Chains A and B, each alone.
Chain A
């Protein structure tokens, strides 16, 4: 009988995968928790799950952060029962925009801390959601009258989330 030999993955790789999975679970948990929060405005969430995206970016790098952000939206939507509904597409578009801006700021904006990166990500998230709603659902420019107050709220929450992410990073990072 031939013995089947399997290549054992390196311990470091397993460690990184375990970290990514635990961060993904935390992000999904926050995504579900946010959906249960009282309504703060149309399409507005505090963006707590973005804290985990920022943590992943610092701890595991850009690729892990992108896959975590997308995985969180997909699996989180399955948990709260909004998969393929308008809520899902709004969340997905906002996450893609926010993650793109976060990665760009991380790479090309020197002197910016997680606070500034989170601020830009939160605002990009909100703008993307409005653009998607205006293009595919409501199709009325009057919708943009809601944008300034929602952007102001997202700037505040983005700033606070960035500070929380930096605070956690300083304690969690080895």
Chain B
């Protein structure tokens, strides 16, 4: 077991290592700049309009609904590769209610409501994406293909 006398230099060593070399710091700055640029570029790609929930299976759009401002929740049964995912769209946003996958990462992702947010169930190949950036518009109830 390390004594107090050896623990302090060990902590200093770790602190020194955490600061990295000059090249490490340059790499970090370059990496962070790339992430920020990618983030801004992706935000600009989000189309304007009312927030819409798009549900895909692989390349195919299964359903498209606006996020309702009031009323009962909408349940969408999205058929994927390994079974049916139950997706709920309500006034709070969209979330996976149930999924046949093992990890349940999609359910653990919780409710999403911001434009640009996504939830993916990789084993079932289902993607839920929120598009649009403007005010809510209840012009239509939904499109299902």
Please determine whether chains A and B interact with each other in the same assembly: yes
Q: Does A147 contact B (CB under 8 A)?
A: yes
In Å, the complex CA distance between A50 and B38 comes to: 26
B21 within 8 A of A: yes
Contact across chains for A39 and B129 when beta carbons are under 8 A apart: no
CA distance A139 to B57 in the complex (A): 9
> For the complex, what is the distance from the CA of A163 to the CA of B10, rounded to whole Å?
12
Chain A residues whose CB sits within 8 angstroms of the CB of B18 once the complex forms: 115, 159-160, 163
Q: Are A138 and B58 in contact (CB under 8 A)?
A: yes
Q: With A115-B24, A140-B127, A163-B18 as given contacts, are A151 and B35 in contact (CB-CB < 8 Å)?
A: yes
Q: Is the CB of B118 within 8 A of A142?
A: yes
Residue numbers in B under 8 Å from A86 (CB-CB): 122-123
- Interface-facing stretch out of A25-33, A55-63, A92-100, A106-114: A106-114
Cβ B122 vs Cβ A144 within 8 A: no
Q: How many A-B residue pairs lie within 8 Å, measured between CB atoms?
A: 117
Looking across the interface, which residue of chain A has its beta carbon closest to that of B120?
A138
Q: Is there an interface contact between B105 and A159, defined as CB atoms closer than 8 Å?
A: no
Stretch in A8-16, A69-77, A116-124 touching the partner: A116-124
Distance (whole angstroms) from the CB of A19 to the closest CB of chain B: 22
The CA-CA distance from A162 to B14 in the complex, in Å, is: 11
How many residues belonging to B are interface residues under a CB distance threshold of 8 Å? 39
Q: Describe A's contact surface by its main secondary structure.
A: helix
Which of B13, B46, B131: most chain A Cβ within 10 A?
B13
Interface size of A by CB at 8 A reads: 41
Residue B109 CB within 8 A of the other chain: yes
CB neighbours of A139 from chain B (8 A): 56, 58-59, 125
Interface residues of B (CB under 8 A from A): 10, 13-14, 17-18, 20-24, 27-28, 31-32, 35-36, 38-39, 42, 46, 54, 56, 58-59, 102-103, 105, 108-109, 116-118, 120, 122-123, 125, 127, 129, 131
Pull 10 A–B residue pairs with CB atoms less than 8 Å apart, ordered by A. A39-B108, A86-B122, A113-B17, A113-B23, A116-B20, A137-B125, A145-B46, A148-B38, A149-B39, A166-B17
Additional 12 contacts, C-beta under 8 A, given A115-B21, A119-B27? A39-B105, A42-B109, A112-B24, A113-B23, A138-B120, A140-B59, A140-B127, A144-B42, A145-B118, A159-B20, A163-B17, A163-B20
